[in-house]
Structure 1
Amino acid sequence: EVNTDVEDGPLNPIWFEGRIQKLDFLVDGEEVVLWMASNITERHDMEAKLRELSDTDQLTGLFNRRRLERDLISHYKAAQEQFIPTSIVAFDLDNLKTINDTLGHYVGDEVIMAIGHICRAGLNGDAIACRFGGDEFVVALPNVELEQAMVFADLLHERCEAHFNRFFAKSLASIIGVSIGIAEILATDTSYEMALKRADDALYQAKRGGKNRTMVG
């Protein structure tokens, strides 16, 4: 007979901490230990939340530079040891200084927050987007080669333009753009910083080349 009153159990994981202590007496001639289990779910969840906050940019909700660097170290090792490609997309906002100077930093912050929304909505899998600093952002795309990263950059341009045109005044949307630089971690790279620098250099080539475009490094 099936007991239909029995619940299926907790909806979320429960975490326990186990401790083992050897006792100084024998039971039936055998050494024994005392095993104690403590429910540490609340502490575990709090620690996970603190780790998340330490890795998150508060304005955009994206990851911060600290988290990016940690992930890129892992992706670099995967590229070198397992030949798993990773592309890096670096981009920043065009004419943000003009927006800040003419309309105020509050409006500038709204534009930066919009980038956070666009990135969160457009990423999947192991890809992460980070606010690198100021108005510069970096997206790490594991398992993505350069040609696929260029497709991603095109989509990023399209999504930014559509979002700006939809949510900002025409006079503001007309001057906002994103300049993008792309690079792939290569077998000849001695660190992930080499690929990141190529992407950053390509970004500034896009700036010098007229803004609101993509360059490959």
Structure 2
Amino acid sequence: MTAVTDHLDILLDMLSALPDPVFVLTESGRYAALIGGQDRQHYHDGAHLVDFSLYDVLPKAKADWFLEQIKITLVQNQLRIVEYGLAGTDVNGLDTQQGPEGEIWFEGRIQPLSAPIKNERAVVWVACNITRRHQLEAKLQLLSETDELTGAYNRRKLLDALTLSLMHFRERQTPTAVVLMDIDYFKSINDRFGHVAGDEVLRGIAHHAMAHLREGDLFARFGGEEFALLLPNTSLVAAELITERLRLSIAAGDFLSGANLTVTVSMGLSLIQPQDQSIESILHRADDALYKAKRNGRNCFISAS
């Protein structure tokens, strides 16, 4: 009997020493048990959650998501792996003085249990803190989408976003505008002031433009001295107003301090059209409009629509 007791004590000690918290959650969303996760550098103390429902301690939207994952796992009856963010302040009654600050990112490994818990099907949910990995991945993602010189998005990001916009247009007929923008006489800027100054103008244009855009707009360096602007949920009239306002703002800007230089841009605008089968046709119309703007004396915009 002593040997059995000793083995049970060792087993319980091992379970409580698990580095990551292990939750037992029922089909109705009740916390049935919690073991492990004692490292306060990476986890908060969630012992108080036992016998409470997800809806007692979490915002409804988050509780809905957790319950959905439990139910999907039980239906599929196999291990599932999910990633999610959760802050200590999201959980009612949690002591946020002990544990990590801000939003924590977790990898959740969810496995169905074969035996019911108080007449309910249940899962075991192992939560592993992957915040550092998530932050690194987000940083690498941003680097892969950003133009190194200007800090604007790059051509790849613009093309990916435009592809999604075309898909949304086909599904919902959401008006979306694309603007191509070229710095007027950029070669002469390099010739007069040098390539270092030219790079400064490119950075200034990008920072200036991004500061004047709305939330949800996307500004990208398309190549060389050419930039592109994606305006989701934007009618032709609104897109023309935004384009003209940006053109005037750039013409009034000071991009080389102390230099006698006025920087202007030519711009071509196109809306996504029902006949568009690819993003190339949208960009082609915007590019044609851009070259018309150049032929019309530059420092202006032309709408393909």
- Give the TM-score, by structure 1 length: 0.86
Unmatched runs of 5 consecutive residues or more in structure 2: 1-94
Asked whether the equivalents of residues 109 and 125 of structure 2 are also in contact (C-alpha less than 8 Å), the reply is yes
Paired with 1:138 and 1:45, the residues of 2 have a C-alpha distance of: 28
Aligned runs of 1:186-201 on 2, under 5 Å? 186-201=273-288
Asked which structure has the greater CA Rg, the reply is 2
Deviations 1:77-116 (A, max 9, x none): 1111101010001111001101112221011111111111
Q: Distance in 2 between matches of 1:155 and 1:134?
A: 23
Deviation sequence 1:133-170 (CA, Å, 0-9, x none): 00000000001111211111111112102213784522
Report the CA distance between 1:200 and its aligned residue.
1.0
In 2, are the aligned partners of 1:146 and 1:182 still within 8 Å (CA)?
no
RMSD over equivalenced CA pairs, Å: 2.6
Q: How far apart are residue 37 of structure 1 and its match?
A: 2.3
- Residue 19 of structure 1 deviates from its aligned partner by 2.6
Q: Which has the higher strand share?
A: 1
Q: Residues 10 and 207 (structure 1 numbering): CA distance in 2 closer, same or farther, change over 3 Å?
A: same
What code does the residue aligned with 2:279 have? Y
In structure 2, how many angstroms separate the alpha carbons of the residues matched to 1:64 and 1:166?
Answer: 23
Residue 47 of structure 1 aligns to which amino acid in structure 2? E
The partner residue of 2:291 within 204, 209, 212 is: 204
Q: Counterpart amino acid of 1:105?
A: H
1:3 is matched with none
1:131 counterpart = 2:218: no
The residue correspondences of 1:37-186 to structure 2 (distance < 5 A) are 37-164=127-254, 167=257, 169-170=259-260, 172-173=261-262, 176-186=263-273
Gaps of at least 5 residues in structure 1 are 1-5
Identity %: 44
Which shows bigger deviation, 161-170 or 192-201? Answer: 161-170
Kept in 1, the 8 Å contact 2:151–2:206? The answer is yes
Report how many residues are paired. 207
Q: 1:169 to 1:27 in 2, by over 3 A?
A: closer
TM-score by length of 2: 0.62
Summarize the Cα distance change of 1:116–1:168 in structure 2 as closer, same or farther, 3 Å threshold: farther
Does the 8 A contact of 1:55 with 1:66 survive in 2? yes
Amino acid at match of 1:77: M
Q: How much does 1:21 deviate?
A: 6.1
In 1, Cα distance between the equivalents of 2:284 and 2:257? 33
Check the 8 A contact 2:154/2:221 in 1, yes or no: yes
CA distance in 1, matches of 2:212, 2:257: 17
Distance between the aligned counterparts of 1:27 and 1:103, measured in 2? 76
Secondary structure at the aligned position of 1:36 is classed as strand
1-structure distance, mates of 2:154, 2:255: 27
**Hey, what's the Cα distance between the residues in 2 that align with 1:11 and 1:118?**
34
Question: For residues 52-95 of structure 1, what are the alpha-carbon distances to aligned partners after superposition, in whole Å with 9 as ceiling and x for unaligned?
Answer: 11000011111001110111011101111101010001111001
